[in-house]
């Protein structure tokens, strides 16, 4: 048998660790599936693999409940269209931050140039 990894080091516990790992994986993985039943099966399989990494595994029924919950929520709330909207919003935020950083940098350069001229 393969050596098992220790339970999540943050101390949150196996349930929370399982939930977080599965949901983070599911947000991106959802875009590859069009069939809900297949999606739920793949999500369950992923959750079982995550559970196998724990030093002490959760009961399979508990893994199944967590996987089903994540799969259903992500199926309802994530799609290609919604993902594109989220990415566009993130792009706007990043662009605004870059513009602001460039403005600040340009202001510092202008100030340095002005001080040199006075010097």
The structural domains of the chain, with segments of one domain joined by +, span 1-78, 79-119
Please name the CATH architecture into which domain 1-78 falls. Answer: Orthogonal Bundle (1.10)
Global pTM?
A: 0.63
pLDDT in tens, 11-66: 469 999 999 999 999 999 999 999 999 999 999 999 999 999 999 999 999 999 99
Average pLDDT over every residue of 79-106: 75
- How far is Cα 50 from Cα 100, in angstroms, rounded to an integer? 41
- Rounded to 5°, the CA angle 101-110-100 comes to 15
Residue 12 has which token pair? Answer: 């949150």
Q: Is 76 helix (H, G, I), strand (E, B) or coil?
A: helix
How far apart, in Å, do the first and last CA atoms of the chain sit? 74
pLDDT band per the 50, 70, 90 thresholds, residue 119: low
Q: Which residues contact 116 (CB under 8 A, 6 or more apart)?
A: none
Helix %, strand %, coil % of the chain (to 5): 80, 0, 20
> What are the start-end ranges of the H helices in 30-79?
36-52, 60-77
Average pLDDT over residues 77-83: 75
Q: How far apart are CA 71 and CA 89, in angstroms?
A: 24
Whether 83 contacts 106, CB under 8 Å? no
């Amino acid at each position: 048998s393969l050596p098992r990894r220790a339970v999540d080091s943050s101390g949150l516990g196996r349930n929370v660790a399982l939930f977080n790992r599965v949901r983070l994986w599911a947000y991106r993985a959802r875009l590859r599936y069009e069939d809900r039943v297949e999606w739920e099966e793949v999500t369950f399989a992923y959750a079982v693999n995550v559970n196998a990494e724990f030093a002490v595994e959760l009961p399979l029924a508990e893994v199944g409940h967590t996987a089903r919950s994540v799969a259903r929520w992500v199926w309802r709330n994530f799609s290609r269209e919604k993902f594109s909207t989220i990415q566009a919003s993130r792009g706007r935020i990043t662009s605004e931050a870059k513009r602001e950083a460039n403005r600040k940098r340009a202001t510092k350069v202008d100030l340095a140039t002005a001080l040199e001229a006075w010097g």
